[in-house]
Amino acid sequence: MTPPVAPVDGHDPETVTPPAVSVCLQVLRKRADFLRASQARRQGTPSFLLQARKRRDEEDGQAIRVGFTCSKKVGNAVARNRAKRRLREAARLALPLNGRPGWDYVLVGRRDDTANRDFQLLLGDLVRALEQVHAKGR
């Protein structure tokens, strides 16, 4: 089910091409997926820890899947939710361009740093971490 789209500048929404970042990311929900990602490649950044795993061919297709987690060490519920919101937005912007289909990514928030770091630096950390994770597999 797709949400309704408002006309852009009087044009029919059916004829307007969607932006490149509209690639739908699938969100990891099952604990087993998070555990498998935690055993795979890791890349630390000042803002968060990135865990990345290439799925086997018989697993769930070629979509980019992403998960987010923040432990109680990050802070109370308000701080954890703020950190996860920032990680979700960074993933929404960076993964369609820098992620690879058929991979699972988990972003683990860090205490104080994830919620307080400048967003452009957070985004840069994610792009750099993705490049390093994929360079390890060459």
Put the strands of the sheet holding 26-27 in their side by side order.
26-27, 65-69, 103-109, 48-54, 41-44
Average per-residue pLDDT in the chain?
85
Domain ranges of the chain: 25-136
Using the 8-state DSSP alphabet, how is residue 8 labeled?
Answer: B
> What pTM did the predictor assign?
0.79
Taking only the tens place, the pLDDT of each residue in 69-90 is 999 999 999 999 999 999 999 9
CATH architecture of 25-136: 2-Layer Sandwich (3.30)
